[in-house]
Structures are given as structure tokens and as C-alpha cells.
Structure 1
Amino acid sequence: MKYRFTLLLISCISSYALAQTTADLQLLQQAVSAQQLRQTVEKLVSFGTRHTLSDTTGARRGIGAARRWAYQQFKSYSPRLQVSFDAFTVEPDGRRIPHKVEMKNVMAWLPGTDTGDRRVILITAHLDSRASDVMDATIDAPGANDDGSGCALVMEAARVLSQYEFPCSLLFVLFSGEEQGLYGSRHLAQKARQEGWEIVAVLNNDIVGNSYSSELGIRQNTRVRVFSEGIPAAADEQTVRLLRLLGYENESSSRQLARYMADIARKHIPHLEVRMVYRKDRFLRGGDHTPFNEAGFTAIRVCEENEDFTHQHQNVRTEKGIRYGDLPEFMDFDYLRKNTVLNVLTAAALAWAPAAPQNVSMSVSGLSNHTELRWQAPVAGPRPAYYRVLIRSTEAPQWEQHIDTKDTAIRLPYSKDHYLFAVQSVSEAGFASLPVVPLPARE
């Protein structure tokens, strides 16, 4: 194949979007309401407890009442949302499930307008709550921040995004059974894998509405953590060896999603910085994105920068003048609004973008200080208007510059010894897919 060296645009990679894209994303940002988020959290708290093993039949208290209310709220947002309970049964596990229990995820599906585009983007959180004793299903467990904040975010995202059309589908999910062992997310991840879902991204939100660090006394509502795996959990031994050989330990699709979110925040959300954490989750802890990673999907966790353990996994009480318990009064709803905007804009940008390029490769047939890349157009969904080749030095955490081209091959005056590369598909309006890093090809 003859390579054409094309330098259409070289600029700082902080601009994924063009001017008209910025206007669309600004409208979405303005639609997100801190007051709506507060009202949702307060309503969730009003159910007393949302423990997985709590009452499922009562009208006012327990997990059953909470999920029925969430179901109706989803339905009220738009007739286009297809709302359902994703029910499944969990057998006793000898740990946190003492008896057989039926669990239900609450799901709202926003179908894409392109019937040939099978991509789906998930925004998720967990509905269940807990107090000090993870097995106490009757005591008050308000769960305002853990994870009422995430649920309110998912529901507000569904309310806002359901007013728009996207070529691919969006799925909003409230999981059950997270505190008892990630049961709801594991069930859905396995279902998605078995049914061959083409998941672009899972944006999982768990504890995203507090800006105060207990013990340290830090107040900071301008940073949010995004956790992403490095070596993919689903990679086999041969793939792991290849990734290490290429120096791609920091280049998983989940890590690319984290970078994408960081760029969205930097470009479009005032006073919010994404802190990319090079771990799959907090130290020795986990979340509902983990089963999706284990099933081979691109998934990250969004979590507040500072955690307040006085108001997390605590019985509601007052001791020595200190008020304990996960209550709305200890939350920062403007901070929750910004984290909601981060999810909304990321999902919209990905959904409006074409599918990622396929079979991205790098020629390694000979030694050279140039780098030759080639790729193929996506087979379904909107056709890309052009492609964006991303470049960064090997020690840089973020993409540093880009080159745009309408070709599907390019020869770059950058050595593969010193730089990393990836390719995105881009729409006419400037919406870009997730980056795809090249694999070596001898031709």
C-alpha cells in the first residue's frame, strides 16, 4: 500500500471537539440540575434502608419500594426509555447471602436511531445500601452518598440524555447486591458477554457526592478520581506477554476511557479535574465495574476525590458530639452535579461518535525512525468523516498532540522508540471514538 503523509491539523490533544460540538455539550451541561439530584437522594433515603436482604413488598420501606420507585421515575423521563427489571436468583453463598434471594437490577434502555449500530454505552450505580453491619437488613441504612449519589447521577443522566437521539444505544442501570458481593453487576456482565453485547464503555459511579475527607479535614470539590485497569483482567497469558513486550501496560481500553473522560472535563467542565488513578479501584476494594472488566469489557469507576468514613458504612447515631451515618446533610450537591455532567458529556460524545477504527496496526518490517500506521473503517454505524492519530511521548500520561487525516494509513516522522500512538474515528461535528492503540504487523 502506498502511504500518503498527511498533516491536516497538529494541535494539543486537549481539544477532542470542534466549536459546534462544544455548543451541544454546553446544552447538556446546563440541563443537569443539582436540585433534581438532591431530591432524588432525599427520596432514596426516605425508604429507610435499601439493604439487599430488606423488605421487597412494602410500599414505603426497603429495597423493593426503592426499586419500584426508581422504575417509575425512569418511565416518567421519556416514552423512548424502555424500562425493565432484570431479575435473577442468588443462592446462599456462606458469606453475605444467608438464604436464597431474588434480586432485581433496574434498567432503562435508550435505543439508538441506527438499527445497524449495535454499540451500547452503560452508565451505572448500585441501589442497595448498608450500615455498620453488612448483614443487618432491618436497621436504618440511608445510603445517601453510598450509593444514593451514584443512583441520582444515573437517573439524572437518563432524564437529560433521553431528550436526545444517538445512533447507538445507552443503558442506565441501578444494580442490586453490590454490598453483598457485586451480584447485580456480575449477573449483567455475564449476560452481556453471553449475548454478545457490543459495549463501548461502562461508566460506573460509586460514592460521588461528598467533597470532605474525614480525619484529614480536606475540603476539595474540584477533583474526581477515575479508576481504570492497566493490564486487562480478561487478557490471557499470551496477550499479557505481548502487552508487556510492547510496553502497553498503561494502554488498556479502560485506561483510554479514563483519558477520554479527563479530556472531557478539561475542555468542557469548569472547576473539575479528573484524577486518573492507575489502579482498578481503591486499595484492596472493588466495585461494579470489576465484573465487566473480568468479562472483557471497557469499564471504569468514578469516585469522589476524598472519602468521609464517618458517614460511610456507619449506623446513624451521635457519639461524643460526632454525627455518624450516610445522610444527605453531609453531601455536596454542586460537586455531584459536576460529576453527573462528566458522565453525561462522556456518554454523549461517545454515542455521537463513529465506532472506533478496526485492525489498527504498526509496521515493524524494518528499522526506521518513521512510524507507519494503517487501519480499517468501522463496519457499522455512522461513517467517520476523518481519523485522528494521537501521539504522546512514552513517559507522558496524556495524549499530547494529534494529526487528522481522511486516509486509512499514515507515515509519521516520529520514532516508535520514543512515542506511543493511537487512532480514533471522528464525526463531521468533531465527536471522537475511544482511541485504539496499534499492534505490530510485519508486511
Structure 2
Amino acid sequence: MKKILPLISLFILVHFATAQTTIIQRNAAIESMIREISAENLEKYVRDLAGFRTRHTLSQNKQKEGIFASQNYVLDLFKSFEGQSDGRLSAYIDNFTIPADGRRIPEDSELGNVMATLKGTDPNDDRVFIISAHIDSRASNVMDAAIDAPGANDDGSGVAAVIELARIMSKKSYPATIIFVVVSGEEQGLKGAAYLAEKAKNENWNLVAMLNNDMIGNSHSSETNINDNTRVRIFSEGVPMAETERMAAIRRYTNGENDSKSRQLARYMKELGERYVDQLEVKLVYRNDRFLRGGDHTPFAREGFTAIRVCEMNENYYHQHEDVRVENGIQYGDLPEFVDFEYMRKITGINLASLASLAAAPSEPSSVGIDVRRLSNTSTLRWEAPETGKAKGYFVLMRETDASMWQKKFYTEETSLTIPYSKDNYFFAVQAVGEGGYESMAVFPQPITR
């Protein structure tokens, strides 16, 4: 007994010596908005959308069913929020023609994206943030525009989240502009998103980030029977699709293949999401998307924009791209009864936390670099103030090279910082911090060689 007691005492001392306390600081305005997200509202939107019977991109124009009726439903909701925005929110359908492609568009077709633009309040801030989902649905045959295709989860869940975010966020003001968009033509080849991404490119939008929400309502997997509404995936590209040779050369020199802008956005959403939303872990998936599938963030990535996909953790293939039927005792079809609305509420919350923080923060620090001109066991980073907004200070972020998330944050109000950690052993980034503690996305430094 005398030998055991010292061992127990040693364990207690070591345990308390190594334990760390995590302090979570939440902005009161963002926390209040997240509390306003309603699972009941999300359920109503999903059931209403499923009630249009089909939202197939090529479905007929009828008053109470089909894609055009469902788009008008979303437009009416967006317009109902305009009055609470003091004139900042404006909603409309951006119509366009998609030419026949010999694949999933048999003839030239009129499509439309339902847009609600919450104009930024700072006339000197031209930044744009997009949150998106797709309204079109499908069953087993992607060309069958007549069969029932309720699309409750794919992607009624994403559309419902975009509507709820527009409802809540349109009451607030941000220096930057937020666009809530519900695109069409996703199942026919990402047509609506491709049109919007090309438009943003041609019109030189300062599009900082695009958040695509596609299937965020299922928490019960097929085959493996996992039932879990405490995790969500964010997909992000590593090597950018639009990478230039100069970008590639810097990436190879710094080994920065895991530090693309999309990866920085995914990390930002994980940190902010888990800060504000309880009982939800954000899993970073180092892929642009899943095998055999695609999403509306991809056309934006191809145009060189920062874009990610938010998606449920466990998919159920009985309720995805299936005809509504009962077979061998199994109910197939994308029906509202298989949507977990509490899960949707939490995922909507991580989107709100990220969007509100980004739109309220100053822009990223400029000309971020790390000095590699001499051998040393310290690291010196330098940068310039953001082009837009006022930075109260900056965080220099640090992580080990095999870590997925930033592990330390060093605060400074200067535009350079030297820290006693070797640049050979760690990755670094810098983010601006504005009034209220709003943080910009992190910027991976370029090497300062002369």
C-alpha cells in the first residue's frame, strides 16, 4: 500500500501538470444569430420543396410543381426578407440559356439561379462572399424529368439552409457583400454554378470565398447503419485547379500543397464552426469532392476562386438518386422523413458563424512573407496591412508539418514578428483581426529570398 500511494500521487501531479484548459470566446452577435436558426423552419422549407413533386432542371413549367414553381417559392421567401434589411437585400432570378450539350441538356434550355444579394455597407469594400445550394432534383434516371423526385436532402437541405441564413443575416449589416444563391442545373452537369462562376470571373468580382452546401440533412448511413449527427465534412482542393506555373513553383519550394486558399477556408470553418456550434465536429476531407460525384463549388475552383463543399458525414444511398418505391422491405427515395432537421440546424450554424465572421472582418493581410535568407532556429514573418478594413492586430498561426489544424496563435499589433520556432519544422500563416475580434482568413506566406 505504501508503494501504491506515491504512484497515485505522481499520476495526479503529472495529470494536472499536462492538462490544458480551452477557452472559448464567442462573439455575442454571432452567437445570438445562431440561436435564431430554427429546425422547425428548416423542416418547413424542406417539406415545401419536396411538395413540388419534382424539381428536375428540365421539368415542365407548371403552377404548383416543377423547377420553375420551386424557384418562385424561394424567390418569394427571399423577397419577404427584403423589408427587414433597410434596403440592403435585393432578390431576383438570374435567367440564362444553356446550349444543348449532347449529354444531359438535349436542347437549348432556359435556366435560372435565384439570387439574394445583401449589399455591403462599406463603399470601399468590394469583397463578395457566396453561399450556395442547388434547387434541382433527380431520381434514378437523370434524364427523367417527369417522375417524382422530391429531393428532400439532395439538395432541399442545402436550399433550406441558404433560405434560413438569408432570413437571419439580412437583418444585420456587414461591410462586405453576401450573396445567397440557389442554382439550377447541378444534376445536369453543374450548369447554373458554371454560369455564375464564369460571370463572376468575366465581371471581375472580388469573390473571396464560395461555400457550397450540398446534402447536409442525412445522419443515418446505408450499409454500415451508422447513426451520427455530430460530424460533418468539408471538402477542399489541395493543388488548385487553376494553378499557374508560378504558383506551382512556389508550392513546390514551400511544400505548400496542403495550404491552398480553399484549405485555409476549410480550416477557418472548422475553427469557427466548432467555436460556436456545440456537439458538431467538422472533419476536413482533403479532396475536392467524393468519387463519382461533383458539386457546385468545382466550377468556381476551375475559375480560380476559393471554394469548398459542406456535406453530411454519412450518406444514405437508399435515399439519393433513387426512384421513390418500396423494394425488399426498404423504402427508397429522397423523402423528408429521412432528413435529420436538428443535424441541419447545426450545420447551418457553422455556415452562419463562418460567413458572418468573414464578412465583418477586414480583408486578409497583404504581401505575407517568411524570411528564408539565412539559416536560423527562429522564424520571421512580415506582411502589410489589409487593403480593405482596419486591422486592430494580427495572428501569426503555427502548426507542425504533419498537423491538419493550426496549433498556436501569436498576437501582435505590428506588421512583422520573429518567433523562436524553426521555419524548417513548422508551417505558418497570418490573419488580420478587426474590431470585435473578427478574423480574416489565414494567408500562407511566400518565401522572402532577397
TM above 0.5: yes
Instruction: Return the alpha-carbon distance in structure 2 between the equivalents of residues 81 and 59 of structure 1.
Output: 26
Letter in 1 for 2:424: D
Is the partner of 1:341 in helix, strand or coil? helix
Note if 1:411 corresponds to 2:411: no
Instruction: Return the alpha-carbon distance in structure 2 between the equivalents of residues 138 and 388 of structure 1.
Output: 54
Instruction: Return the alpha-carbon distance in structure 2 between the equivalents of residues 228 and 286 of structure 1.
Output: 12
Instruction: Return the alpha-carbon distance in structure 2 between the equivalents of residues 379 and 225 of structure 1.
Output: 32
**1:355 — aligned with what?**
363
Note if 1:41 corresponds to 2:42: no
**1:70 — aligned with what?**
74
5 Å matches for 1:314-353? 314-353=322-361
5 Å matches for 1:7-46? 18=25, 21=27, 23-46=28-51
**1:278 — aligned with what?**
286
Paired residues of 2:250 and 2:446 also in contact (CA < 8 A)? no
Is the partner of 2:218 in helix, strand or coil? coil
Instruction: Return the alpha-carbon distance in structure 2 between the equivalents of residues 154 and 32 of structure 1.
Output: 11
Question: 418, 421, 426: which one pairs with 2:428?
Answer: 421
Letter in 1 for 2:416: A
Instruction: Return the alpha-carbon distance in structure 1 between the equivalents of residues 22 and 45 of structure 2.
Output: 34
Instruction: Return the alpha-carbon distance in structure 1 between the equivalents of residues 347 and 52 of structure 2.
Output: 24
Is the partner of 2:188 in helix, strand or coil? helix
Question: 159, 167, 170: which one pairs with 1:159?
Answer: 167
| TM-score, normalising length: structure 2 | 0.93
Note if 1:147 corresponds to 2:151: no
**1:54 — aligned with what?**
59
Note if 1:227 corresponds to 2:232: no
Note if 1:249 corresponds to 2:253: no
Ranges in structure 1 where 5+ consecutive residues have no aligned partner: 1-11
**1:193 — aligned with what?**
201
Ranges in structure 2 where 5+ consecutive residues have no aligned partner: 1-19
Instruction: Return the alpha-carbon distance in structure 1 between the equivalents of residues 251 and 347 of structure 2.
Output: 32
How far the C-alpha of 1:372 sits from its partner, in A, is 1.3
How far the C-alpha of 1:77 sits from its partner, in A, is 1.5
**2:392 — aligned with what?**
385
Structure 1 pair 182/143, CA: closer, same or farther in 2 (3 Å)?
Answer: same
Instruction: Return the alpha-carbon distance in structure 1 between the equivalents of residues 374 and 216 of structure 2.
Output: 49
Paired residues of 1:18 and 1:429 also in contact (CA < 8 A)? no
Paired residues of 2:133 and 2:182 also in contact (CA < 8 A)? yes
Is the partner of 2:436 in helix, strand or coil? coil
Structure 1 pair 71/286, CA: closer, same or farther in 2 (3 Å)?
Answer: same
Instruction: Return the alpha-carbon distance in structure 1 between the equivalents of residues 250 and 440 of structure 2.
Output: 24
Is the partner of 2:310 in helix, strand or coil? strand
**2:3 — aligned with what?**
none
How far the C-alpha of 1:244 sits from its partner, in A, is 2.1
Instruction: Return the alpha-carbon distance in structure 1 between the equivalents of residues 68 and 273 of structure 2.
Output: 36
**2:5 — aligned with what?**
none
Letter in 1 for 2:58: L
5 Å matches for 1:93-108? 93-108=101-116
Question: 110, 113, 116: which one pairs with 2:118?
Answer: 110
Count of equivalent residues: 427
Instruction: Return the alpha-carbon distance in structure 2 between the equivalents of residues 167 and 270 of structure 1.
Output: 28
- Report Cα offsets for 1:224-260 as digits up to 9, x if no partner: 0000000111002332232022110100011011111
Is the partner of 1:303 in helix, strand or coil? strand
Is the partner of 1:172 in helix, strand or coil? strand
Paired residues of 1:110 and 1:170 also in contact (CA < 8 A)? yes
Letter in 2 for 1:321: G
Paired residues of 1:292 and 1:299 also in contact (CA < 8 A)? yes
Letter in 1 for 2:391: P
How far the C-alpha of 1:370 sits from its partner, in A, is 1.3
Instruction: Return the alpha-carbon distance in structure 2 between the equivalents of residues 152 and 428 of structure 1.
Output: 31
Is the partner of 1:180 in helix, strand or coil? coil
How far the C-alpha of 1:200 sits from its partner, in A, is 1.6
How far the C-alpha of 1:264 sits from its partner, in A, is 1.5
- Report Cα offsets for 1:323-365 as digits up to 9, x if no partner: 1110000110000010111111110011111110011011122
Note if 1:435 corresponds to 2:439: no
Paired residues of 1:13 and 1:399 also in contact (CA < 8 A)? no
Structure 1 pair 440/13, CA: closer, same or farther in 2 (3 Å)?
Answer: farther
Is the partner of 1:231 in helix, strand or coil? coil
Paired residues of 1:14 and 1:267 also in contact (CA < 8 A)? no
How far the C-alpha of 1:265 sits from its partner, in A, is 2.4
Look at both structures and tell me which one has the larger radius of gyration over its CA atoms: 2
Instruction: Return the alpha-carbon distance in structure 2 between the equivalents of residues 165 and 152 of structure 1.
Output: 22
Note if 1:83 corresponds to 2:91: yes
Structure 1 pair 14/74, CA: closer, same or farther in 2 (3 Å)?
Answer: farther
Is the partner of 2:395 in helix, strand or coil? strand
**2:185 — aligned with what?**
177
Please report the RMSD computed on the Cα atoms of aligned residues, expressed in angstroms.
Answer: 1.4
| TM-score, normalising length: structure 1 | 0.94
How far the C-alpha of 1:441 sits from its partner, in A, is 1.4
Instruction: Return the alpha-carbon distance in structure 1 between the equivalents of residues 234 and 187 of structure 2.
Output: 20
Letter in 2 for 1:81: L
Question: 109, 130, 140: which one pairs with 1:132?
Answer: 140
**1:209 — aligned with what?**
217
Instruction: Return the alpha-carbon distance in structure 1 between the equivalents of residues 374 and 262 of structure 2.
Output: 31
Q: Which has the higher contact order (CA 8 A, sep 6+)?
A: 1
Structure 1 pair 435/14, CA: closer, same or farther in 2 (3 Å)?
Answer: farther
Instruction: Return the alpha-carbon distance in structure 1 between the equivalents of residues 197 and 21 of structure 2.
Output: 32
- Shifted more, 336-345 versus 363-372: the winner is 363-372
Letter in 2 for 1:200: V
